[in-house]
Amino acid sequence: MADRIVIKLAERPVEIDAGTTLHQLRERHKPDADVVVLNGAPMPQDRALTAGDDVVFIKRGEVPGREELEALMAARHTPGVHAVLKRSAVGIAGLGGLGSAIAIALARIGVGRLVLADFDVVEPSNLNRQQYFIDQIGLLKTDALRANLERVNPHVNIETHAVRLTKENVPEIFADVDVMVEAFDAADQKAMLVESFCKARPGVPLVVATGLAGHMPSNTVTTRKVGRALVVVGDLVTAAAPGTGLMAPRVGVAAHHQANAVLRLLLGEDPEA
C-alpha cells in the first residue's frame, strides 16, 4: 500500500498518496483551473506535494460556492472567530465615506447580517472618499452599496432601508442588531441616532465617529470607550470646514477604526485596549 500524506485543499484536510504532484491533484479535483496556488504563492510548474502543503485551484472569474468560501475565510480568520461573526448582525446608519467603507470591511470578514440605512443617492463629489464607482452616480446608496457588497461576499445577508432615519424609525429598523454604527456627517443626525438608539437598545454597543476631516496625522484618530456601551472614534475636534475637507485617507482610517471596534465588540473584547 502506498504511503499516504495529508495536505490542505482549499483549506480542508485531504489525504493523498505520497508522490502525488500538483498537476495530478488538479486533474482529479479541478481540471479546468487556470491558476494553481501552493502555500500562498502561484505555482506554474509541477512538483510533488509534501505533507502539510496548502493548495488552492482557481478558475478565473468563477465565484466560489458558499462552503468553499466559508472554509477559506474561516481559515484566514480562525474558525472560532468566523463562527461568531457569521451569526452576528451589525447596523450602519449612513452609507457615505464612513459607512460604505465599514460595510465593506465587515462583509470581508464575514459578518453574517448587515442592516444598512441611508436615503441619499451617489453624487460625483462622493467619489473622493466613498466606496462607489462612477457608473453608480445617481443610484440610491443602499442599492449601489448592496451591489458592491454582493461582489465582495455574496453570502452576507444584506438588509437595506432607503429612508431618512428619525427618532421614530431607528428603534424599529435596528431592533435586533448586536452592534450599531453611527456614520453620519451632520452633528444633528449624530445626536439623534445616539439618543434614539441608546434609549431603545440600552446596553447594546454603539460605535460613533467625530473629528476626522482634513489631512491631519493618522495617529490623531483614536478609539475611546465612553461609558459602558458607547465607543467614540476620531480626534473629537477636526470637523469638516472650508479649507478642511473630508478626504479618503483619513476618513478611511476612521472607518477602519470603527470596523475594528465592531469586530472586537462582537468577539467580547475591549475596543479600546
Indicate the Cα dihedral angle 120, 199, 107, 214, nearest 10°.
Answer: 60
β strands within the chain, DSSP E:
4-9, 12-17, 35-38, 41-42, 54-58, 89-93, 113-117, 157-161, 179-182, 206-209, 222-226, 230-234
Q: What is the pLDDT of residue 244?
A: 85
Q: What is the pLDDT of residue 104?
A: 98
Three-state secondary-structure class, residue 89: strand
Q: What is the pLDDT of residue 117?
A: 98
Q: What is the pLDDT of residue 2?
A: 66
Q: What is the pLDDT of residue 1?
A: 54
Q: What is the pLDDT of residue 100?
A: 98
Give domain limits for the chain: 4-62, 79-266
CATH 3.40.50.720 fits 79-266, yes or no: yes
Specify the residue for cell string 427618532.
167
The DSSP 8-state label assigned to residue 138 in this structure reads: T
Quick: pLDDT tens for 176-227: 999 999 999 899 999 999 999 999 999 999 999 999 988 999 999 999 999 8
Distance CA 158, CA 149 (A): 8
Please state, as a whole number, how many other Cβ atoms lie within 10 Å of the Cβ of residue 73: 21
Distance CA 97, CA 253 (A): 11
The answer to whether the beta carbons of residues 231 and 206 sit under 8 Å apart is yes
Range list of H helices, 125-247: 141-152, 170-173, 187-200
CA-wise closest residue to 246 among 190, 194, 191, 183: 183
Q: Which CATH superfamily is domain 4-62 in?
A: Beta-grasp domain (3.10.20.30)
Regions of the chain with pLDDT less than 50: none
Q: What is the pLDDT of residue 66?
A: 86
Q: What is the pLDDT of residue 71?
A: 84
- b/e per residue 251-273 (b: at least 16 CB within 10 A): bbbbbbbbbbbbbbbbeeeebee
Three-state secondary-structure class, residue 3: coil
Distance CA 84, CA 140 (A): 31
